[in-house]
A and B are shown apart, each in its own frame.
Chain A
Amino acid sequence: MQDSLSRRDFVATVGSLGAVWLLADVADRSEAIAHAAQQVKQAQPALQFFTPEQAAEVEAFASRIIPTDDTPGAREAGVVYFIDRGLTTWAKDQQPMFTAGLAKLPNDVGAKVRGQTRLSALTPAQQDEVLKSIEKTPFFGIMRFATLAGMFSLPEHGGNKDFIGWKLVGQVEAMEFKPPFSWYDQPANRRALLGGDA
């Protein structure tokens, strides 16, 4: 998936992990997405698909993909609400994959930590161990993609609360930038790099 970065490989990325979310058989996804965004504007986050117990597991999972440390992570970005909303609107047809993956999760947990069934009850180190044991599975792939999509899609889709994800990576939300745009195109640096050719 990430072997290289040309347009063809970018598409390969979208086509592999993304596909399960992208190719949802919803007649008009644009409308579904707009509908989902409208719901976000109207209400405080509330679960519509997951049970509170499922949501706790999804949140624990997402929080190990993008953990909270000295900066906010998937939990603070509201990734679980993004996924929940997606599963009731534009990714409706993906519900069975999530339900099945979550139903199997207690076994995955128990296989790593004897006597436990809930990911959310484990320590972060134990959670990482469980995730590592399933990181080649389709469920992990879809959870990783969904977490990242909830981290970085516009807040109107239900995640990336207050642009937490964008701030994390240094992406600035603006309709306009003025040069210099970076260290390299600052005139003094460009001159230093290029000598008389700048």
Chain B
Amino acid sequence: MTRIQGQGTQGRRFDVNDEVDFIVVGSGPAGGSVARELTRLGHNVVLLEQGKQYTRADFHHDEFATVFNNQYANTPPAHIQTWRKTAKDKAEPRHGLLYANAVGGSSMHFAANYWRFRPGDFNEFSRHGGVPGAAMADWPITYDELEPYYTAVEWAIGVSGQGGLDPNEGRRSRQYPMPPLDITGPGVLLEVAAKKMGWRALPAPMAIASRPYNGREACHNCGFCWYFPCEWGAKSGTNFTMVPEAVASGRCELRTECKVRNVETDDRGRVTGVVYFNPDRREVRQRARAVFLCANGGETPRLLLMSKTNRFPDGLANSSGMVGKHLMFNGNTGAGAEFEHEVNGFKGPPVTRIVLDTYDLHTKGHYGGGGFDFRYPFPPLLSALNMPPDGPQWGADYKKQLRQLHTRISHCWGHVTQMPSPTNQVDLDPEAKDSWGLPAIRVTFKEHDADLKLYKYMFDRSIELLKAAGAKRTWGGPPGDDPGQAVHLLGTCRMGNDPRTSVVDASHRAHDVRNLFIVDGSSFVTSGRGQPTLTIQALAFRAADLASRMAKRGDLG
């Protein structure tokens, strides 16, 4: 019997021939949460993570390593990807999909914006109808079905905020566990702007502890938050919350630096386990009664497509042909401005106030909508590289400008709907291989015209907000037809009641495979308004709860 020893292993040890209750692939917002819930409900879990496990002591204010060399993120050439605009184009290597490659997944380095969806996000198709070129559909679940899980997640990980101020928010069964974080310079500027425009600046719900919480430190306002893992452990990523709890349960083995290559199935079409490369890049086959895929909206569909067999010739769980389709990232717009006094965006959390008055823009002739925040989380190098484009870019005047502006800039960032276009997708590149010899992710992506129109509208409002806040000058432009590098990876294994048009059912069970569950950004039917992580985690809690019930009543065989 082979036993996985030492390297990259934490918690309880299982033998590869033990048929564990569940394998969970991915330890990010979804997988970490699923593992924690399944162990809490009494199940044995092997949790596989392709990245490393880091501790607080590993983290630092090192912009060069973190931002410019992607220390914690997927990086070519090891994680090579390719990209093309349409199916007619040849895909070229491009680092298009960015995600944290570590325990905690992208929740270890995200800005921690933690919006709930509104009830209307789940049935936009019924409310507003379809859009040509986009496969709009309702979610198979409602806000009310998800609400208990939203609340459970907010309390389990520790979210700071103040419910009840937004007249359009959904029903909330419990207040946030902690009050909002201290307001920052950009936060006050957004308050001023919103007031002038007759809008409402709301305290931002943030997955950052404003008070000591469950043995973790409160935020110390060091400012290295967006893009950085937290040196204080105050950011409520699953690396500090869900995963340690799962490991401490005594029912979970966390194996890091383990890259899953395929999900195995038997001749009845049931999942029997997964095959992965261990840290020494040797193949290991782990058996399990059921599998959860939580590898993110890029890697999850890739894994399904790599798991094709004679019985599943188009990839596992893909009888609908929908695996990898409807890739969405959320649109985002940005504008910059100079203010008279010091804004000091590098102090405190990245976001403390948000404006949601543009959440639903159907009455303005748009599909979807979005929200805004003010922030300037750019550390000095990023800041120096992003001075106003019409100003000097080197020399004495450039230096003067750096001294004047680094402390006096605020951006306005817009977070926007993106359409589920069936032609936007993730599949396997026919040629490129990653460093494990596995087919690279190939992205095909073109912006939808309705989205481009919406981005323009949101960008124009950004400029208005910055001017209303008293900007001396503004700069920037609306996004064009290329999303650059994308971080919210959504929609590629969509939920639905109809097995012909969706990959998983309303309980996240694959329509085609009784003991395979898929939950992460790929589950999204529509993109919401730009802050998906809380919804991913609420879906994960719900999926784990439902899968546990199925397992306990013997419904996974």
Q: Closest approach, in angstroms, between the C-beta of B81 and any C-beta of chain A?
A: 13
A135 to chain B: which residues have CB within 8 Å?
A: 394
Q: Closest approach, in angstroms, between the C-beta of B311 and any C-beta of chain A?
A: 39
**A149–B403 CB distance below 8 A:** no
**A154–B61 CB distance below 8 A:** yes
Q: Which segment, of A2-10, A51-59, A95-103, A109-117, faces chain B?
A: A2-10
- Most interface-central of A2, A131, A190, A194 (chain B CB within 10 A): A2
Tell me, yes or no, whether B387 is within 8 Å of chain A by CB. Answer: yes
Q: Closest approach, in angstroms, between the C-beta of B496 and any C-beta of chain A?
A: 29
State the main secondary structure of chain B at its contact with A: loop
**B413–A6 CB distance below 8 A:** yes
Please give me the residue from chain A that is nearest to B75 by CB atom.
Answer: A29
Please give me the residue from chain B that is nearest to A14 by CB atom.
Answer: B68
Partner of A69 from B332, B333, B399, B406 at Cβ < 8 Å: B399
Q: Which segment, of B217-225, B251-259, B419-427, faces chain A?
A: B217-225
Q: Closest approach, in angstroms, between the C-beta of A86 and any C-beta of chain B?
A: 10
**B385–A145 CB distance below 8 A:** yes
B389 to chain A: which residues have CB within 8 Å?
A: 1-3
Within 8 A of A (CB), among B69-109: 69-71, 75-77, 95, 98
**B188–A65 CB distance below 8 A:** no
**A185–B185 CB distance below 8 A:** yes
Please give me the residue from chain A that is nearest to B384 by CB atom.
Answer: A148
**A69–B386 CB distance below 8 A:** no
CB contact under 8 A between A169 and B192, given known A7-B487, A184-B343: no
CB contact under 8 A between A182 and B64, given known A169-B384, A194-B195: no
CB contact under 8 A between A182 and B69, given known A5-B334, A168-B399, A169-B403: no
A4 to chain B: which residues have CB within 8 Å?
A: 333-336, 459, 475-479
**A8–B380 CB distance below 8 A:** no
A156 to chain B: which residues have CB within 8 Å?
A: 62
Partner of A179 from B61, B341, B348 at Cβ < 8 Å: B348
Tell me, yes or no, whether B140 is within 8 Å of chain A by CB. Answer: no
**A13–B68 CB distance below 8 A:** no
Partner of B384 from A69, A90, A151, A184 at Cβ < 8 Å: A151
Within 8 A of B (CB), among A134-192: 135, 144-145, 148-149, 151-154, 156-157, 165-166, 168-179, 181-185, 189-190
Partner of B221 from A10, A15, A173, A177 at Cβ < 8 Å: A177
A149 to B380, alpha carbons, bound, how many Å? 9
- Most interface-central of A18, A177, A182 (chain B CB within 10 A): A182
CB contact under 8 A between A177 and B347, given known A7-B334, A12-B484, A148-B381: yes
A145 to chain B: which residues have CB within 8 Å?
A: 385
CB contact under 8 A between A22 and B335, given known A65-B394, A170-B406: no
A121 to chain B: which residues have CB within 8 Å?
A: none
B414 to chain A: which residues have CB within 8 Å?
A: 6
Q: Closest approach, in angstroms, between the C-beta of B456 and any C-beta of chain A?
A: 12
Partner of B64 from A69, A153, A175 at Cβ < 8 Å: A153
Within 8 A of A (CB), among B361-391: 378-389
A69 to chain B: which residues have CB within 8 Å?
A: 396, 399
Q: Closest approach, in angstroms, between the C-beta of B259 and any C-beta of chain A?
A: 16
Within 8 A of B (CB), among A84-126: 90
**A3–B477 CB distance below 8 A:** yes
A44 to B436, alpha carbons, bound, how many Å? 40
Q: Closest approach, in angstroms, between the C-beta of A31 and any C-beta of chain B?
A: 11
**A169–B407 CB distance below 8 A:** yes
Partner of A184 from B63, B98, B189, B394 at Cβ < 8 Å: B189
Partner of A30 from B65, B68, B396, B459 at Cβ < 8 Å: B65
A133 to B12, alpha carbons, bound, how many Å? 65
Query: How many residues of A sit at the interface, in one of the four size bands?
Result: 35 or more
CB contact under 8 A between A2 and B388, given known A169-B403, A171-B406, A179-B221: yes
B63 to chain A: which residues have CB within 8 Å?
A: 152-154
B380 to chain A: which residues have CB within 8 Å?
A: 151-152, 165-166, 169, 171
A165 to B399, alpha carbons, bound, how many Å? 10
- Most interface-central of A10, A149, A166 (chain B CB within 10 A): A10
Tell me, yes or no, whether B130 is within 8 Å of chain A by CB. Answer: no
Tell me, yes or no, whether A21 is within 8 Å of chain B by CB. Answer: yes
Q: Closest approach, in angstroms, between the C-beta of A97 and any C-beta of chain B?
A: 17
Q: Closest approach, in angstroms, between the C-beta of B500 and any C-beta of chain A?
A: 34
A15 to chain B: which residues have CB within 8 Å?
A: 95, 484-485
**B346–A193 CB distance below 8 A:** no
Per-residue CB proximity of A18-50 to B under 8 Å, as 1/0?
A: 100111010001100100000000000000000
**A175–B332 CB distance below 8 A:** no
Q: Closest approach, in angstroms, between the C-beta of B476 and any C-beta of chain A?
A: 3
Q: Closest approach, in angstroms, between the C-beta of B145 and any C-beta of chain A?
A: 31
Please give me the residue from chain A that is nearest to B191 by CB atom.
Answer: A194
**A149–B393 CB distance below 8 A:** no
Q: Closest approach, in angstroms, between the C-beta of A60 and any C-beta of chain B?
A: 13
Within 8 A of A (CB), among B21-80: 60-65, 67-71, 75-77
Instruction: Give 7 nearest A-B pairs by CB, closest first.
Output: A6-B334, A182-B185, A4-B476, A183-B341, A8-B484, A11-B485, A169-B406
Assuming A69-B396, A153-B63, what are 18 further A-B pairs, CB within 8 angstroms?
Answer: A2-B389, A5-B336, A6-B333, A7-B334, A9-B476, A9-B479, A30-B65, A71-B403, A90-B69, A149-B381, A151-B384, A168-B399, A175-B231, A177-B220, A181-B182, A181-B221, A185-B184, A193-B188
For this complex, 7 residue pairs linking A to B, each with C-beta atoms less than 8 Å apart, are A7-B334, A29-B71, A153-B381, A168-B402, A170-B406, A178-B221, A182-B341
**A residues apposed to B, CB below 8 Å:** 1-15, 17-18, 21-23, 25, 29-30, 33, 64-67, 69, 71, 73, 90, 128, 131, 135, 144-145, 148-149, 151-154, 156-157, 165-166, 168-179, 181-185, 189-190, 193-194, 197-198
